[in-house]
Amino acid sequence: MPVFKLSLKIFRKNWVAVSIYIFIFLGIAIAISANSVPEKSIGFSQEKAKVALISEEKTPLTDGFQKELSKSAVLIKLPDQTEKLQDALFFRKVTYILRIPKGFTQSVLSGGSMQMKKTVVPNSVDNAYVDLSVDQYWNLARIYAKHEPGISQQQLVNQLKTNLSGSTPVTIKAHEQAKTANSFSMYYFNFLAYTLSAALIMGVSTLMVVMNKRDIKRRNFCSPLRASSINGQLILANLLFALSAWAILILFCFILDSKSFGTQNMVYFLINSLLFTGSMTSLSYLIGNLMKNLNAMSAVCNVLTLGPCFISGVFVPQEFLNDTVLKIASFTPTYWYVQANTRIAKLTQFGWPELSPIIQSMALLLAFGAAFITVSLVVGKRKNLMNE
């Protein structure tokens, strides 16, 4: 198989340029994919506001209140100076300033109406927890003082501590979703479109440009090999190169996110990426038949990879793109590849209603591949007739 061996030599000679695309852009894809994975909320934790508590009296009840308040807020010590308190509030060193006036404890015990003074940052959600804690403690103290007139402050503090020591467990129930939804794998397979497109265009197109040179083509036709055998060996070499590039990128995904390979979603990720590989190989084959020299290969590669990736949702999710942009992108295989990936990542059930949109996108990838091959054969046939 002389043509097949020659093709492999050309691939090996061009391997440095292809490997640069694979490994540099693979590194970029890994970095962006890792940073794109949102953090998962695994439980509930109450946000603590920064509170400055200024008490003008020191009683067992105010001391007990300070200890209880420290459970739901971060107490910040500040000097009782108006300017420093205002600065602390302005620069968000604290979001809540609470002042207990002198005589407040006695007012609570005797059923009086004296109030504490508070100064807060407007519209602060964290401060709502502080208000709840303050109201809960002092309202409960008023109830005890009203119904047990002879209770001492220390006894009241102990009773309040016992009553407020309980806690309610919070369980967060999330909707069932696929293990690969918003995972590293989904982002990785989306960014794989750029790396794979660049590698295939640089590899396959370069081979076809070299093999289509007039001297090499005439030499092949003068050989005892039939045209069908030459074309078959070329196709075999291109498929081997494409599968090798795909396998290398999938291997990296397995190394970095091996847990996702145990899911059923991963099967569809692999099928989708394989179909995209076939479609881009066909496009690369067509580009190689259309181009006459290698000087413009890098420019063509950048245009045909970066352009579709920008408008198809590889770098920016499709939901953030304009409808007009998406309509233009729908004329590229990259758009349908990314759309299928997004749907695959969200799969929790694998019935026909869930899989039909994905299969539709995959079918369009096949259609793109068939169209590119058809045009390539027409262009190749026309070139042969012109050479003759």
* Residue 160 · residue 140 · CB < 8 Å: yes
In eight-state DSSP terms, residue 203 is I
Mean pLDDT in residue range 366-378: 90
Residue 333: which pLDDT band, with cuts at 50, 70 and 90? very high
Mean of per-residue pLDDT scores for the chain? 82
* Residue 195 · residue 26 · CB < 8 Å: yes
Neighbours of 267 (CB within 10 A): 12
pLDDT for 35: 64
Taking 80 as the threshold, does the pLDDT of residue 344 lie above it? yes
The residue whose two tokens read 């220390």 is 154
* Residue 297 · residue 322 · CB < 8 Å: no
3-state secondary structure of 263: coil
Taking 80 as the threshold, does the pLDDT of residue 278 lie above it? yes
Q: Which residue has the higher pLDDT, 231 or 162?
A: 162
pLDDT for 360: 94
Separation CA 369–CA 381 (nearest Å): 18
Separation CA 242–CA 237 (nearest Å): 9
Separation CA 197–CA 305 (nearest Å): 6
Taking 60 as the threshold, does the pLDDT of residue 310 lie above it? yes
Separation CA 5–CA 204 (nearest Å): 15
pLDDT for 31: 73
Mean pLDDT in residue range 223-234: 74
Within 8 A by CB and 6+ apart from 331, the residues are none
pLDDT for 170: 62
Separation CA 289–CA 378 (nearest Å): 10
Residue 171: which pLDDT band, with cuts at 50, 70 and 90? low
Neighbours of 44 (CB within 10 A): 9
Locate 127 and state its tokens. 């401060």
Task: Find how far residue 313's CA is from the centre of its chain.
Answer: 12
pLDDT for 215: 72
Mean pLDDT in residue range 359-364: 94
Separation CA 336–CA 296 (nearest Å): 28
| pLDDT tens, residue by residue, 28-48 | 766 765 665 555 555 556 678
Rounded to two decimals, what is the model's pTM? 0.63
Q: Which residue has the higher pLDDT, 346 or 273?
A: 273
> What is the percent of the chain where pLDDT is above 70?
86
Taking 80 as the threshold, does the pLDDT of residue 53 lie above it? yes
Mean pLDDT in residue range 115-133: 85
Radius of gyration, alpha carbons of the chain: 35
Residue 315: which pLDDT band, with cuts at 50, 70 and 90? confident
| pLDDT tens, residue by residue, 6-26 | 777 877 777 776 777 677 766
pLDDT for 122: 82
Strands (E), the chain: 49-55, 73-75, 96-100, 117-120
Mean pLDDT in residue range 345-358: 87
Taking 50 as the threshold, does the pLDDT of residue 176 lie above it? no
Residue ranges per domain, the chain? 2-40+179-387, 49-163
pLDDT for 327: 92
Separation CA 267–CA 264 (nearest Å): 5
Among the ranges given (58-62, 232-236, 305-309, 381-385), the one the predictor scored with the smallest mean pLDDT: 381-385
Separation CA 309–CA 333 (nearest Å): 10
Class of residue 239 by CB neighbours under 10 A (exposed 0-12, middle 13-18, buried 19+): middle
Fold exhibited by the domain 49-163: abc type-2 transporter like fold (3.40.1710)
Separation CA 105–CA 57 (nearest Å): 8
Mean pLDDT in residue range 113-134: 85
